[in-house]
């Protein structure tokens, strides 16, 4: 209900009572399950812990709550685990497969999607033709798209064979159909696209259509990557940056 600093001020002002008593200025440790904490006489109830899920979205599945045409959605795949409010972090097109993070932590979802925080998203694309060094250089420096130039990206040719190649692309933005548009702009339309990582979270061996909870270490690294905790992982920032 308050940032750390505002909470300190509230406590110092005497507005906060623990089991009906003012806590000592040196602070006191409470058990949120048993102790009754009030602020200006109103009970403070701890928020339930947020949910953080990683799914391998199959192609053909939509990242939307419900589809009027009845096509399958990622929430159908989540079943009970998808109940309540969950944000998909950085949507994927119906035709794109791979890593989709879902959470009810709005602040983290916002930061992971915003280019300001430069969280890298890694994709592997199967493209028509074989990009040459010049194409890769254009992808790296930034491609002119109709909604403006893209930020610098990592681009790497993984392998190429008979008229097709696999390209690894790492971008820090999340514009609509961005990877498909970038590759089409350098003359290599995408035939298949998979997101393989979001920041420190990797798809690895998650089967298409299945999901798992994020590990605490992944969550800590995601929070650090978006500036929600300091490098050492200890101090929380109070508020969203302007």
Which amino acids are annotated catalytic? 93
73 is an interface residue for ligand URA by CB under 6 A: no
Q: Which is nearer to ligand URA, 166 or 237 (CB)?
A: 166
Q: How far is the CB of 216 from ligand URA (least distance, A)?
A: 27
107 is an interface residue for ligand URA by CB under 6 A: no
Piece of 5-13, 33-41, 154-162, 178-186 that binds ligand URA (CB under 6 A): 178-186
164 is an interface residue for ligand URA by CB under 6 A: no
Q: Which is nearer to ligand URA, 180 or 223 (CB)?
A: 180
Q: How far is the CB of 47 from ligand URA (least distance, A)?
A: 31
194 is an interface residue for ligand URA by CB under 6 A: no
150 is an interface residue for ligand URA by CB under 6 A: no
213/50 Cα distance (integer angstroms): 11
180 is an interface residue for ligand URA by CB under 6 A: yes
Which residues make beta-bridge pairs with 17? 38
Q: How far is the CB of 206 from ligand URA (least distance, A)?
A: 17
188 is an interface residue for ligand URA by CB under 6 A: no
53/212 Cα distance (integer angstroms): 6
30/44 Cα distance (integer angstroms): 12
Q: How far is the CB of 112 from ligand URA (least distance, A)?
A: 14
3-state SS, 83-101, equals: CCCCEEECCCCCCEEEEEE
CA dihedral over 234, 217, 115, 62, signed as positive or negative = negative
92 is an interface residue for ligand URA by CB under 6 A: yes
100 is an interface residue for ligand URA by CB under 6 A: no
Q: What is the total count of residues that contact ligand URA (CB under 6 A)?
A: 8
56 is an interface residue for ligand URA by CB under 6 A: no
Q: How far is the CB of 92 from ligand URA (least distance, A)?
A: 4
177 is an interface residue for ligand URA by CB under 6 A: yes
149/52 Cα distance (integer angstroms): 32
The residue ranges that bind ligand URA (CB under 6 A) are 92-93, 96, 177-180, 193
């Amino acid at each position: 209900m308050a940032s750390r600093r505002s909470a300190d001020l509230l406590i110092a002002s005497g507005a906060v009572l623990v089991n009906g008593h003012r806590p000592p200025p040196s602070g006191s440790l409470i058990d949120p399950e048993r102790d009754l904490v009030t602020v200006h006489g109103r009970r403070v109830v701890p928020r339930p812990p947020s949910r953080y899920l990683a799914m391998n979205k199959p192609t053909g599945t939509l990242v939307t709550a419900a589809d009027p045409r009845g096509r399958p959605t990622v929430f159908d795949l989540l079943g009970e685990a998808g109940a309540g409010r969950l944000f998909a972090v950085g949507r994927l097109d119906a035709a794109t497969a791979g890593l989709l993070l879902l959470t009810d932590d709005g602040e983290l979802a916002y930061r992971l999607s915003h280019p300001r925080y430069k969280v890298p998203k890694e994709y592997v694309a199967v493209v028509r033709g074989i990009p040459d060094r010049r194409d890769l250089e254009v992808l790296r420096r930034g491609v002119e798209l109709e909604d403006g130039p893209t930020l610098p990206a990592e681009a790497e040719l993984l392998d190429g064979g008979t008229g097709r190649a696999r390209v690894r692309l790492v971008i820090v933005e999340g514009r609509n159909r961005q990877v498909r548009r970038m590759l089409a702009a350098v003359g290599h339309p995408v035939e298949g696209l998979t997101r393989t990582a979001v920041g420190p979270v990797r798809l690895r061996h998650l089967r298409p259509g299945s999901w798992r909870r994020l590990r605490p270490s992944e969550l800590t690294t995601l929070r650090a990557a978006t500036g929600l905790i300091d490098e050492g992982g200890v101090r929380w920032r109070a508020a969203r940056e302007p």
